[in-house]
Amino acid sequence: MTYLDTNQTTQYNTKLFTNIEKIKNGMGFEFLIVIGLVLLMILSIIMSFVLNWQLSLIMSCLIPLIVGSSLIFAKVITRETEAQLSTYSKAGQIAQEVFSSLRTVLSFNGSKGQQKQYEKELKLNEWYTVRKDAAFGAFIGWLLFINFAVYSIGFTFGSILMAYGNHRTLTISEILVVVNMFAQALGYLTSIGPFFQSISEAQGAAVTVFRLIDEAHDANINEREILQENISDERSISNINGDIEFDNVSFSYPSRENATALNNLKLIARANQTTALVGSSGCGKSTCVSLLLRYYEPSLGRIMIDGQSITDRKIKQLRQNIGVVSQEPILFGISIYENIRFGKMNATRAEIEHAAEQANAHKFIMKLPNKYETLVGERGIQLSGGEKQRIALARALVKQPNILLLD
């Protein structure tokens, strides 16, 4: 949760899909072709040394130039690809925000401004693409130059060795075979060129992906536990009937560490009672909900249920016993039935309809043409605000939580 607060989550689509697609292209069939061409090149060079090692050794002086230039061009292409994907990510973020908030953008006549921002990001990408393609073109040209240089050096020094060296037995045919074989070996590098670009682009894309994977996370909260089906030594909290106590809790959001959201809060919510938190906007009411759900850990103090700190309990089991309805209810772009069932994946239809009745949603659902199978649209856009609230409440009630949080 800390990472999501301090980073643009709308860029994840590019990072997790576009970048990975480039990695797949660079590490797939093309990578196997590169390995095959490299092996052919090595075998050809070995055969050249077997036929005449002196002439082959002279021509080998070009290999360090090829290796060095390849590393330089690879670094340039990788850097430009990384910058290119970064601008794609930012442009994608703008497009995603516009489409998800299209009504707001249109109501404020903001289409032109958003279009200009989108074009600005793509304009930067245009220069990154030009520089990357120019570097790749220069690299291919350099390889062709080296290939022709092999013929020049090979025939020149081959003639010298044949005329003035101790190689009177060296014939023109041998020179032709050795030079052509060595030139063919380096010529494979030209064939590798197009695949070399894909691999370099994959390397640039991998930098962003692995940076995302290696991002520092809050060690106090282990969200991986949510994905585990079986957890050993877990304390059962199937029956939470005790008081909820905030004991001198202080907290600041990671994105606003200088602003204190809660300062030495002492609060007791009695079991089997309704407790209301009343205060001005921004005083920390929603923060209490987030801390109780363990989205964050308090900076100071502790939160207890029935006298036991919630940090001693497993997150998965804790949240299974808490139902929550947020200020802005979020519905998924699926049917009403599936949205309510999200609160309890193994819920029966009777349980889902009962939860809808408790939330005063059953009547309006039955008036819809497809009833519970009605698609709500992205973020529930097909429903009114009140209808979304009631669906969200039914989703919270369907699992019959011991604690119900209405934010």
Task: Report pLDDT digits (tens) over 341-393.
Answer: 888 888 888 988 898 888 888 888 888 888 888 888 777 788 888 888 888 89
Beta partners for 239? Answer: none
Averaged pLDDT for residues 294-322: 83
Two domains, one topology: 244-320 and 323-406? yes
Who's near 406: CB < 8 A, 6+ residues apart? 324, 325, 393
- Closest by CA to 382, choosing from 370, 371, 393, 374, is 374
Question: pTM of whole model > 0.85?
Answer: no
Axis-axis angle for helices 63-100, 172-213 (nearest 10): 30
- What is the predicted pLDDT for the residue at 296? 84
Who's near 262: CB < 8 A, 6+ residues apart? 249, 250, 251, 284, 287, 288, 291, 298
Q: What is the DSSP letter of 375?
A: B
233: left (phi over 0), alpha (psi -120 to 50) or beta: left
- Closest by CA to 313, choosing from 235, 240, 377, 233, is 235
pLDDT tens per residue, range 28-83: 777 778 788 888 888 888 888 888 888 888 888 888 888 788 788 878 877 887 78
Beta partners for 375? Answer: 335
Name the residue with tokens 């103090």: 301
Q: By mean pLDDT, which of 97-106, 254-263, 302-311 is the weakest?
A: 97-106
Q: What is the DSSP letter of 402?
A: S
Nearest-angstrom CA–CA distance, 106 and 111: 6
7 token code pair: 């980073």
Helix, strand and coil percent figures for the chain, each rounded to 5:
65, 10, 25
- Closest by CA to 287, choosing from 278, 296, 276, 275, is 296
Angle value at C-alpha 401, between 328 and 378, nearest 5 degrees: 30
- What is the predicted pLDDT for the residue at 124? 81
> What are the DSSP E strand ranges found in 105-208?
none
Residue 61 CB-density burial (10 A; 0-12 exposed, 13-18 middle, 19+ buried): exposed
* pLDDT above 50 (res 277): yes
Who's near 207: CB < 8 A, 6+ residues apart? 78, 82
19 or 374: which leads in pLDDT: 374
- What is the predicted pLDDT for the residue at 202? 75
| Domain ranges across the chain | 7-213, 244-320, 323-406
- What is the predicted pLDDT for the residue at 4? 59
Averaged pLDDT for residues 264-289: 85
277 or 27: which leads in pLDDT: 277
* Fold (CATH) for 7-213: ABC transporter transmembrane region fold (1.20.1560)
Write the DSSP assignment of 133-159 as a string of letters.
Answer: HHHHHHHHHHHHHHHHHHHHHHHHHHH
* pLDDT above 50 (res 95): yes
Task: State in words which class domain 244-320 has.
Answer: alpha beta
- Could you give the maximum distance between any two Cα atoms of the chain, in Å? 107
- What is the predicted pLDDT for the residue at 234? 43
Q: pLDDT grade, residue 14 (50/70/90)?
A: low
Nearest-angstrom CA–CA distance, 84 and 202: 12
Name the residue with tokens 């200088």: 258
Domain 323-406 maps to which CATH number in 3.65.10.10, 3.40.50.300, 3.30.70.141, 3.40.50.1980? 3.40.50.300
Q: pLDDT grade, residue 304 (50/70/90)?
A: confident
Chain length of the chain: 407
Q: pLDDT grade, residue 166 (50/70/90)?
A: low
Q: Using DSSP bridges, classify how beta strands 262-269 and 244-251 pair: parallel, antiparallel or unpaired.
A: antiparallel
First to last CA, the chain: 18
290 or 191: which leads in pLDDT: 290
78 token code pair: 């990788």
- What is the predicted pLDDT for the residue at 155? 85
